[in-house]
Structure 1
């Protein structure tokens, strides 16, 4: 597909120059077509929800280099981050390390827990829009439960060295939660190569999807470590419901 042919997939570009991609992506025609197929199927009584969920999990898994069993569908990034923050267990004296560049929903989810007396929130201060690895080294200690950071910072576009951050965190027995909405679809993300423990992302930026779409990655060995904050009919295997 050539450049012009690809560009023609975005109706908004016929009379506009789109400079807001890092906030909301312009919707392409294939996204509209996928929506129409879904709605038309429902109009005809074809409710293929479960099949599409599994297909979506496989596609998200391929995108970030994990297995589908490690992926849960989420309505947005914030919900995925909250699922981790409310699902972890915190011992007395625990702290969470984040940065002063994070999106408000990242910061607030931890500040709420700090206000409840469950954790201390530590901020790594940025320098000219960048966050230095040596400052993460100073902030993380053996009481750190999780380092919560963006793959690409929304304020400055700074791309964090997730592999180095994960190495620092793991040396102290801490996890890493990656807010990757500014990265997936734009840059290569490999959770296994970098050692990322949790990753949350929405689909309405570089994945060219409407709002209400997103996913959460949880490393397989940590799935049972999280308490599920909100449960539903698909939260357990059928045989567990038959007790």
Structure 2
């Protein structure tokens, strides 16, 4: 077994720790010094040299594509860059050849809107959205099995539920979808960068995630995975010069779509975001995704025990947990507690009436203790 990294050695990458208690990586994560430096690197190149070194921008783009593929167990040819998670999910929703009466199974009552609205938008094409009934605050294989009918074309789930923190058993659901001949689409933003993700092992056909949460990148850039076996079945909603096999030939038209996921990239790249994403993914892979997941798990076990000792109602249970812990105080109004934490510079989220904590690997146990102490002070009033 590899030795555990020195997590504290990475704290200098995150100057946010000098100002706040950063427990909101499931919301909007602070970025790293590396990512900020990467943005400056590209900006200064553009400022000082214009497009003279554009080939270097393209090389960094392809290196980033390779890192994105590596972190989820895919191939670079199966990765396209997108603006955000909803962008990738929308490419699936609008790109498949739907027929009236087709069904999409999704737990619309608990999912983040990005994994609901693209499917509801298909109603005017005769596609029905079939509800997966939530169980234990999340989506279970049993609930998915109960929702699938002979008309089901696709199952859409989040890898981790944003509000409850319930971790989805993607491997079991992927196997279930394969047996039923159903496409499997995953909103991966609450898992990529937090826990190991293997799209092949889980038989995932589509996964979309952007980088401003657990990847510790910036908003406006993410990646979209499409399994090579279903790439021909997805029609790009938008096309442009970059979608084609002769992309850099601007002297004549030769409209032939690329056979890989790059066909979904219609025009000029967000190079600043891609440079930041390259730095962010490189940092996570340097630390090691398994080590990151273990560290987050340890922090949440500690937080869970301390909060329960105060009488807080916590969740989800360890077997369903990824990077999120939610809780209610034993006494007092949760909104008042949220205000108390905010006043004391704790970064967190309030989701569906519960405080949501989501620390990353560079957070220290002592910082967990400081949050718990603030809850204790509030509850003792």
Normalised to the residue count of structure 2, the TM-score between the two structures is 0.61
Give the total of aligned pairs.
Answer: 242
CA deviation profile, 1:159-215 (whole Å, cap 9, x unmatched): 111111112222221100010000000000000111100000001111111111101
Structure 1 position 103 matched with structure 2 position 112: yes
Per the alignment, residue 195 of structure 2 pairs with 187
Moved more, 161-170 or 216-225: 161-170
CA contact (8 A) 1:140 1:168 kept: no
Structure 1 position 122 matched with structure 2 position 130: yes
**Match for residue 17 of structure 1 among 14, 21, 44:** 21
Taking the aligned partners of 1:63 and 1:132, their CA distance within structure 2 comes to 25
Per the alignment, residue 157 of structure 1 pairs with 165
Structure 1 position 63 matched with structure 2 position 74: no
Per the alignment, residue 170 of structure 1 pairs with 178
Unaligned runs of 5+ in 1: none
CA contact (8 A) 1:142 1:173 kept: no
Taking the aligned partners of 2:69 and 2:8, their CA distance within structure 1 comes to 30
CA contact (8 A) 1:198 1:218 kept: yes
Q: How many Å apart are 1:68 and its aligned residue?
A: 0.3
Taking the aligned partners of 2:253 and 2:232, their CA distance within structure 1 comes to 18
Q: How many Å apart are 1:4 and its aligned residue?
A: 2.9
Per the alignment, residue 37 of structure 2 pairs with 33
Q: How many Å apart are 1:79 and its aligned residue?
A: 0.2
Which runs of structure 2 are paired with 1:68-147 in the superposition (5 Å)?
A: 68-99=76-107, 100-114=109-123, 116-147=124-155
Taking the aligned partners of 1:32 and 1:132, their CA distance within structure 2 comes to 39
CA RMSD of aligned residues (A): 1.6
Q: How many Å apart are 1:31 and its aligned residue?
A: 0.7
Per the alignment, residue 49 of structure 1 pairs with 57
Taking the aligned partners of 1:101 and 1:196, their CA distance within structure 2 comes to 21
CA contact (8 A) 2:174 2:203 kept: yes
CA radius of gyration, larger in: 2
Distance 1:105 1:130, change over 3 A: closer
